[in-house]
């Protein structure tokens, strides 16, 4: 998502007005029709699934065109199947999710009942990024529809073909009072973030996330921020180095590193760094024996992002890092906006690559002696969106789980925690606030209303004034430990 601006021009005020009209129509429709029944929600999920299946080939093509080249298999796996799975999951569990939750009742209030009823919030705003332009638009939409809401979507302008296809596709299956897609650049994004939604979800960078949160605060709009950060991979001294190299290489190079939960840098035991470098080189070469005209290896999405990643490499090299480029066929790939898998050794915190989220196929590698220094380093830096730990040592795994904080983590693998529908996905602190997916998406876009149901026969009136001995007795009972 492009950087938001706060300066309100006449054009931006008009933009606010146009978007507000869409929001008003959705809110009036929501209030007129009331919360949809489960059958209605399932029909909407079914309609969304049918659209995805119908347009899957067009989506694969449009995403690849937006990137310059994106692996069709990666798009099918990470975006198409990534959107189909949560629809099926929501349909299967929606009846249970919608059922009021009975809660325990205090003895002195019996025989009353306490329940939580999940109500749709109303109109949900979703601002999606460019790196997985379909999945990260549709996945939160699934949770919002399952919860019974109306939705306004703002996909990224950096993937215009995919964004237009999403708009056309959803217009075919939904009235714009149910789901509306808004296209445009930074001015539209800024106006969108100022709307008085009932909830706003933004996925993107931490700097823009701050701006979104400030804009939403003007209308007291609750926000869910799915951001990023520098997610570490930690290889334990006991773990099979080849397997760790395989899984870290896969996690780093999927979508050419343009993944918010990609391993951003890697800790390797001192004395094993050279062997690890050789193994990562071997794994990357096996996965991508050539880079040019290889449909499996994804291009960087835009010229400015290509230049940004190249600048990170050059800055690190100028400040003393050793650069190892993995280009098995020694090809020229800059004309395809591809960056070869690149390892950086001897990195320091003064290098930009260790200060910024990389979002590209570049992996800094840091040696360590003791696990404690890794834990201290992670805790001294902003909390990451993900953390990956490779170890079979129960004590070491417990230390990492308990003594570090990240949005989510995988033990002995990378990325795959995001595929588990019943695990919440989200960050903590600078890597985000709030989580969704599966049941957590349903509750994220619902209001958990507390309901106290008084029994026909009850003793509540016994505590009415004038107060006397019975009141004193009841107060003593309630104050007992």
10-227+431-448, CATH topology level: Aldehyde Dehydrogenase; Chain A, domain 1 (3.40.605)
pLDDT tens-place string over residues 354-402: 999 999 999 999 999 999 999 999 999 999 999 999 999 999 999 999 9
Percent of the chain with pLDDT over 70: 97
Q: Measured between alpha carbons, how far is 67 from 232 in angstroms, rounded to an integer? A: 26
How are beta strands 232-235 and 432-433 bridged, if at all?
unpaired
pLDDT tens-place string over residues 105-115: 988 788 999 99
pLDDT tens-place string over residues 96-142: 999 999 999 988 788 999 999 999 999 999 999 999 999 999 999 99
Give the pLDDT of residue 415.
98
Q: What is the mean pLDDT of residues 283-302?
A: 97
Question: What mean pLDDT, rounded, does the chain reach?
Answer: 95
User: 74, 178, 260, 421: which one is catalytic?
Assistant: 260
- Strand positions, DSSP E, 400-466: 408-411, 425-426, 432-433, 435-436, 446-453
For 232-426, CATH gives 3.40.309.10
User: 74, 79, 178, 226: which one is catalytic?
Assistant: 226
Q: What is the mean pLDDT of residues 170-174?
A: 98
**What does pTM read for this prediction?**
0.94
Task: Tell me the CA end-to-end span of the chain in Å, nearest whole number.
Answer: 54
Catalytic residue flag (residue 260): yes
Q: Where in the chain is the domain with CATH 3.40.309.10?
A: 232-426
Q: What is the mean pLDDT of residues 456-468?
A: 85
Q: What is the mean pLDDT of residues 35-40?
A: 98
Q: Where in the chain is the domain with CATH 3.40.605.10?
A: 10-227+431-448
Residue 428's Cα: distance from chain center in Å? 11
* b/e burial code for range 248-259 (CB count within 10 A of at least 16 → b): bbbbbbbbbbbb
Tokens of 441: 């998406």
Q: Which residues contact 71 (CB under 8 A, 6 or more apart)?
A: 64, 295, 296, 297, 298
């Amino acid at each position: 998502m492009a950087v938001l601006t706060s300066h309100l021009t006449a054009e931006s005020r008009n933009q606010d007005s146009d978007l507000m009209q869409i929001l008003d129509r959705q809110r009036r429709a929501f209030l007129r029709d009331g919360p949809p029944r489960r059958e209605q929600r399932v029909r909407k999920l079914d309609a969304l699934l049918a659209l995805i299946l119908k347009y899957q080939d067009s989506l694969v093509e449009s995403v690849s065109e937006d990137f310059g080249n994106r692996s069709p298999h990666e798009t099918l796996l990470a975006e198409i199947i990534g959107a189909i799975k949560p629809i099926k999951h929501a349909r299967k569990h929606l009846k249970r999710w919608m059922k009021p939750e009975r809660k325990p009742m205090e003895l002195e209030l019996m025989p009353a009942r306490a329940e939580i009823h999940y109500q749709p919030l109303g109109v949900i705003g979703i601002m999606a990024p460019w790196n997985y332009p379909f999945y990260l638009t549709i996945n939160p939409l699934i949770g919002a529809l399952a919860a019974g809401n109306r939705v306004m979507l703002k996909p990224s302008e950096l993937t215009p073909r995919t964004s237009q296809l999403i708009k056309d596709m959803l217009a075919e299956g939904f009235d714009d009072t149910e789901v509306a897609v808004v296209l445009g650049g930074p001015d539209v994004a800024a106006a969108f973030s100022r709307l008085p939604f009932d909830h706003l979800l933004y996925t993107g960078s931490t700097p823009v996330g701050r701006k979104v949160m400030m804009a939403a605060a003007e209308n007291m709009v609750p926000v869910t921020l799915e951001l990023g950060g520098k997610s570490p991979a930690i290889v334990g001294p006991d773990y099979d180095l080849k397997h760790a190299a395989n899984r870290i290489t896969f996690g780093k190079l999927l979508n050419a590193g343009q993944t918010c939960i990609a391993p951003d840098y890697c800790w390797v035991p001192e004395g094993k760094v050279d062997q690890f470098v050789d193994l990562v080189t071997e794994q990357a070469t096996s996965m991508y024996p050539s880079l040019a005209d290889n449909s499996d290896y994804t291009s960087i999405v835009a010229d400015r992002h290509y230049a940004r990643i190249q600048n990170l490499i050059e800055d690190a090299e100028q400040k003393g890092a050793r650069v190892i480029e993995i280009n098995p066929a020694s090809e020229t790939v800059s004309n395809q906006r591809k960056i070869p898998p690149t390892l950086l050794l001897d990195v320091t915190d003064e290098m930009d690559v260790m200060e910024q989220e990389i979002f590209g196929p570049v992996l800094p590698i840091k040696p360590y002696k003791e696990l404690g220094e890794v834990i201290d380093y992670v805790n001294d830096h902003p909390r990451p969106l993900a953390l990956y730990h490779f170890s079979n040592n129960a004590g070491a795994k417990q230390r990492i789980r308990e003594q570090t904080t990240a949005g989510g983590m995988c033990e002995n693998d990378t990325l795959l925690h995001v595929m588990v529908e019943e695990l919440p996905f989200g960050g903590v602190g600078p890597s985000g606030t709030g989580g969704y997916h599966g049941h957590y998406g349903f509750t994220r876009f619902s209001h958990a209303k507390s309901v106290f149901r008084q029994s026909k026969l009850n003793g509540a009136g016994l505590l009415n004034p004038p107060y006397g001995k019975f009141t004193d007795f009841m107060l003593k009972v309630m104050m007992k430990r």
